[in-house]
Chains A and B, each alone.
Chain A
C-alpha cells in the first residue's frame, strides 16, 4: 500500500544537526512532492518546506531558511530532512507528508503522512 516510513527517534545536543529519512513505497516516488511538518509536544502543526523528488527543487519556510536542507535519493525512494544548529525549541515530532496535486496551485494538501520521528534536543 501507499506509505511513508520514517527513521527512528533521535536525541541530539544543542548545536548539533539531525537528519531524518522518509522512505516512500506503493507509488511512483518522483511523481509527488514531499513536505515536512513538525509538531512540538501539545502544540500545533508547522510546515517546514517541500521537495520535488523528480527535480530536486526545494522550498523552505522563511523561519527555517539557512538551517534546513531537504535532499533525496531516487534509487531508494527516500527523502531526507536535515536541520542544523539545533536548539531546545526544535524538540518535536517531525513528519514527512506527500502532496496531493489538485488544481493549478503551487502548494498541495497532504494526503499520506509518515508515522513521525521524535527529535529531542537536550544537553
Chain B
C-alpha cells in the first residue's frame, strides 16, 4: 500500500492569507492525486484531481501542483468559507487518504 503523509495537521490563518498544504506519497503516484475539502457534518467535496485539475465549480483561488511523490494544495486569499479540513488522496493504487489538515481562523 502507498502511504500518504500530509502536513501540517492543523494551521491557523487569517482571511486573505495564502495557505499551503503538502502531501507526500511513499512512492511515486504519477499525479493520481486529489484534494478534498470537508466541513463539519458534511461529506467531503472534490476540489482538484490529477494533482492540478480544478473540479468544475471550484473557485480559482484553489490550485494544486507537484509530481512524483510530493504534492501541494495552495489556497490564495483565504476566504471565510475556506475554514475546513482538507484531505489529499492518492488513487494510483488502492485509494488512500492523508490524515487531514484542519485550517482554523487565527
| A residues apposed to B, CB below 8 Å | 35, 44-47, 61-62, 95, 97, 100, 102-103, 105-111, 113-116
Which one of B87, B95, B98 contacts A35 once the chains associate, using CB atoms below 8 Å? B95
Nearest CB of chain A from residue B96's CB, rounded to whole Å: 7
Given known A45-B97, A47-B94, A102-B50, contact A109–B45 (CB-CB < 8 A): no
B interface secondary structure, majority: loop
B43 engages A116 (CB within 8 Å): yes
A107 engages B91 (CB within 8 Å): yes
Which one of A47, A103, A106, A111 contacts B97 once the chains associate, using CB atoms below 8 Å? A47
In the bound complex, residues from chain B placing their C-beta under 8 Å from that of A61 are 94
A47 engages B95 (CB within 8 Å): yes
Closest to A48 in B: B95
In the bound complex, residues from chain B placing their C-beta under 8 Å from that of A62 are 1, 94
In the bound complex, residues from chain A placing their C-beta under 8 Å from that of B60 are none
Nearest CB of chain A from residue B19's CB, rounded to whole Å: 19
B34 contacts chain A at the CB level, 8 A cutoff? yes
B92 engages A105 (CB within 8 Å): yes
B44 contacts chain A at the CB level, 8 A cutoff? yes
Give Cα distance in the complex from A62 to B89, angstroms: 17
In the bound complex, residues from chain B placing their C-beta under 8 Å from that of A116 are 43
